[in-house]
Structure 1
Amino acid sequence: MRAWSGQWRPGEGFGEPLPAWDGPSTLVLVFASPAVIADDTPPDPGGPLAGLLEAYPASVVMGCSTAGEILGGTIDDATVSVAVAQFASTRLRLLTGPIGGGTDSAAVGRDLAARLVAAEPDLAGVFVLSDGLRANGAQLAQGLSDGCAGTAVITGGLAGDGDRFDHTWVLVDGRPRTGMVSVLGLSGPHVRVGHGAGGGWSILGPERLVTRAEGNVVHELDGQPALTLYRSYLGDRMGDTAASTLMFPLSVRAPEGRQGAVVRTVQALDESAQSLVFTGDVPQGSIARLLRANTGELVDGAGEAVRRADLVPGLPTLALVVSCVGRRAVLGQRTEDELEMVMSRLPADVHLAGFYSYGEISPIGEHTSGLLNQTLTVTTIQETAA
């Protein structure tokens, strides 16, 4: 395997020639600002997407819109970050399908994963990119886990749209389309897919039972109205908007503890119902706990993600970072610090690209991946000698 990463900037292009590695064993990942590549439109003949499709007509091209583009230890807006990997023996298979608009996200995930498993008996990893506004990310992750039945590591994320939350897209046959999901299968005995997730959040207060919830709406915690409890506990630290709760997300875990806890961010406050709307599902009967952090702890948490990725020293490495738009909002001017922390923990010759997302997908337990929020995730791809 050999890898390359680069970035397209307005008025500058890619700055260096794209590697001439076109072929069915080449993967091209595209993470683009929606201001540069618009949804549901053909590629601009003079734009970055058209240039990539021209350079890699026979390759597997996958991508999505972002809430910030990552390349190495930097984050940018209004750019396109690209990673290219050419494999020696690893097989690539890309499947896409509609999601949202009445479709069952769990069923879509199960179907796509089952198709990958049926076609690739030695499936090692699945990387997923989904529309970030129409999909139920928690159900999609569960469906993918059910369909893979423990045969592969499942990672990825939900496409972003900056801080607008208006339109997100995923590449399908070289065209950016809303309401779609794409899953990439990496198969073969020599591919290694590592993963890690880091938060940096610390516990604030006691565990609480989710006594009434529907999907991503929590009505009651410990039998009390959820919004009332949040306000009584946080006091002056909580304002009148969801943005005021960014530093205080919720940790959610199943009561039996078979899966790790996931982080959920408050998306909206419902004053009339005194309920909280979160960015992912919070099952009734689960155990919840308030979290808090300072920026230094969040940066340290990003480094922890790399430690868990279990890299093989000495092999060429492609590292894909998917971090939460909520973390970017909390970290502010220190956002690049978490990326620099990630880079400091990786081999010097690693190629790193990725994006800020509307939700991260990563393993949360044995044979199960879930939707995370306020978390930085790392997927590492390596290939051992045949």
Structure 2
Amino acid sequence: MSEILAGVGHATDDDPTAAGRRAARAARDDLGGEERIAYAFGSSEYDQTALLGGIEDGLDCPVVGCSTAGEIARAQSHTESVVVLALAGDGIRPGVGSAPEFAEFSREAGMEAASAAVDDLGDGPVPTSVSASESGRRRWYPKLLVNAFGPGLTGSKEWALIGVQDALGWAHVSGGFAGDDWKLDTTWVYRDGEPVEDSMTVAAMDVDVKTGIGVANGLRETDHTFTVTSAEDNRLYELDGKPALEAYRDRYGDRVTQEHFLMTHPLGTDDDGEESHIAMIADVDEETGSMIVGEKPLEDGQKLTVMDTSADAVLDGVETAIDRALTAAGGPEDIAAVLVFDCNCRWFHLSNEETRNAELDIVRERVGPDVPVAGFYSYGEIATPNPLWNDDPRSLMRQDVHHQSIAIEIITNEPL
């Protein structure tokens, strides 16, 4: 029977090399096996080169990950620290790839990194999914499980994920875009033992066990819906026949230009799925009265609904995400590890460590007290959920970068 072992290490040392080394060795000690791949998520407060040097000292395997806007270790929320999740066992075979020039060629970077990761697996092509007969029906599970990490402040997140899927045809992908503790200056992705600012890293795992991905946001539609009457690409010029910023001000007043308002009231766009696609308002231009909304092109006649939420609604979203992930993984009893990619914007609604840990308590309650749980707070979440959670074949075409969301990946010890 295939098996996956997992170990988590966490450190808060002031010295970056010592912190990296301590977290890596703790993960290795917790693992109980020879590590095959490790995920590292470190605060941007650390010197990233020194931090990765310490991690590399403590492990003998590929290390992927990025800088963060907060760390998750053993289902607890942290800042100014580093967390390492190491995986071992014969249930996985990992490959790692990376590609530069993310800012200018995001799609190409995604394609090249994903292709390199699969090439690193060796032994020929790997199917992306396999089916199993359960309760008189066919159900599909990932055979190729992919984690992707990219810069958080440059390039196109949407096109990067499209590039990953271009290379793989279809694969179940989760991950996130790097943070820098809210400084909004520079983020780093971990590639080949070094931190880089303009590259994407992809880890592809050929798995022999059931896995599942779930994502949700907890945002709620308000009664404020606009119609796009003039837009070019993702720049919005008019809403309801008025300059976009003017129309927004008529509803909400001058606070519409405040960062806090923009980050807590994104726009929901038309979507064929059961939930709206969430588009962040990235910038407003007082001179032209225009707004930059998300990355996807906007179209005349499109409806945009202002979204809002509360702490309770955010926690409801966590329940939805973890339940979707567990369902996608077949309702497992034996869970090897959990990866969590959580949006930094959710901190506006979960404003202290106690309330942020309430999110992770929900995850812990669902998966059990002894399962290793690790992850980070990101500047954009990647999740292409397994369609099992809604039994909708059209979900096979769903691929997305999410915002103000929590994405959860479940890795089990239950064989395919």
Shorter-chain TM-score range = 0.7 to 0.9
1:186-236 Cα distance to aligned partner (Å, 9 max, x none): 114x13331111211111125544343344432233443222222222347
Q: Secondary structure at the match of 1:366?
A: helix
**Change in CA separation of 1:22 and 1:182 when aligned onto 2, cut-off 3 Å:** farther
**Change in CA separation of 1:134 and 1:78 when aligned onto 2, cut-off 3 Å:** same
RMSD across aligned C-alpha pairs, in angstroms? 2.7
- 1 CA distance for matches of 2:101 and 2:91? 32
Partner in structure 1 of residue 204 of structure 2:
185
Partner in structure 1 of residue 90 of structure 2:
88
Partner in structure 2 of residue 372 of structure 1:
402
Partner in structure 2 of residue 337 of structure 1:
358
Partner in structure 2 of residue 283 of structure 1:
298
1:125 pairs with one of 145, 148, 151: 145
- 1 CA distance for matches of 2:408 and 2:341? 7
Residue correspondence of structure 1 range 14-29 to structure 2 within 5 A = 14=22, 17-19=26-28, 26-29=36-39
Q: Is 1:292 the equivalent of 2:308? A: yes
**Change in CA separation of 1:377 and 1:207 when aligned onto 2, cut-off 3 Å:** same
Q: Is 1:240 the equivalent of 2:245? A: no
Structure 1: state its 5+ residue gaps: none
Partner in structure 1 of residue 284 of structure 2:
269
**Change in CA separation of 1:193 and 1:283 when aligned onto 2, cut-off 3 Å:** farther
Partner in structure 1 of residue 131 of structure 2:
none
Q: Secondary structure at the match of 2:350?
A: helix
Q: Is 1:35 the equivalent of 2:59? A: no
Q: Which piece of structure 1 moves more, 353-362 or 14-23?
A: 14-23
CA contact (8 A) 1:241 1:268 kept: no
1:361 pairs with one of 382, 399, 402: 382
**Change in CA separation of 1:259 and 1:244 when aligned onto 2, cut-off 3 Å:** closer
TM-superposed deviation, 1:117: 5.8
Partner in structure 2 of residue 314 of structure 1:
333
How many residues in Structure 1 have an aligned counterpart in Structure 2? 372
- 2 CA distance for matches of 1:279 and 1:335? 26
- 2 CA distance for matches of 1:184 and 1:357? 17
- 1 CA distance for matches of 2:26 and 2:230? 56
Structure that is richer in helix per residue: 2
2:369 pairs with one of 342, 348, 358: 348
TM-score for both structures, normalised by structure 2: 0.81
Paired letter, 1:26: R
Structure 2: state its 5+ residue gaps: 129-143, 386-394
- 1 CA distance for matches of 2:251 and 2:199? 40
Partner in structure 1 of residue 8 of structure 2:
5
- 1 CA distance for matches of 2:361 and 2:373? 11
Q: Secondary structure at the match of 1:165?
A: coil
TM-superposed deviation, 1:161: 0.6
Partner in structure 2 of residue 109 of structure 1:
110
1:269-310 Cα distance to aligned partner (Å, 9 max, x none): 211121222354353355421111111111221121100002
- 2 CA distance for matches of 1:26 and 1:225? 55
CA contact (8 A) 1:96 1:183 kept: yes
CA contact (8 A) 1:106 1:142 kept: yes
